Structure 1
């Protein structure tokens, strides 16, 4: 049986299931192992976590998915495809329109 371990992930050679090598749970993209454990025990903990630091965590004004800003400029592209200004949460149909807004603001 083959397996691969890379970047904290274990991939089963038979079923290709991904497992976190730190906590041995399923892969939890975007969450630390501790955060994932809290969410598993109490699903509402994710909502409290988002509210803990509103400077770095907001909701997309188009699809309402939670997003986190770690670094970089104020241009954000959401999973839904909308482009937005992190500072004011205005959304735009294109990246260039968003950068134009930021240049003028």
Structure 2
């Protein structure tokens, strides 16, 4: 297998052309799998299944599990509900197969999309210095803040995020957290919100400086620790010998 085929798999191409110039065929699935690294096997299988999808198979909007509509119909009064109402067997999300959205009980897909658009427009409106609502970055549920700080916790998926910018809370002690002005994980509204390019440059420079300084600090700490250990190993025996050979008259005179 041609090594240049690996980037094709990673980029989403499931059908790999034979590398032999005289051949216009495609490599067999077993051949591709035999030459792929373990971290790319799952991607290749996913793209392969994605290429084989028909109108009766879709992926779960939350966990991307392949779900087929065949054999899921259940006899009820509403013919549309049992046919298009799907509950994912992996993440247990109940969703609509027709519009690929969370299940909208009592609403047609068109009505739901219209209402969802109105909800997004309403949520983005700034009133009293804040958005009407913010979407959870993980489960996409809109959350409205009544009072309190910008640190929000979604009740549905327990994701911690910032109400002002909608980003997840990320924290590395050495690089700072979402509340740090100069951290790459900091909120974009906390530091130079009107100058995004300057903000990214400053935060990136600070981050790069920390990355460069960190090895120096580690080496310095190791050297100081090693010197302290050597001094201790040399000084302690001398101290012990001097204390042991102390003059017997008790006047505190040292023989060394």
Task: Verify same fold: TM over 0.5.
Answer: no
| Larger Rg belongs to | 2
Structure 1 or 2: more strand by fraction: 1
Q: Which has the higher helix share?
A: 2
What TM-score do you get using the length of structure 1 for normalisation? 0.44
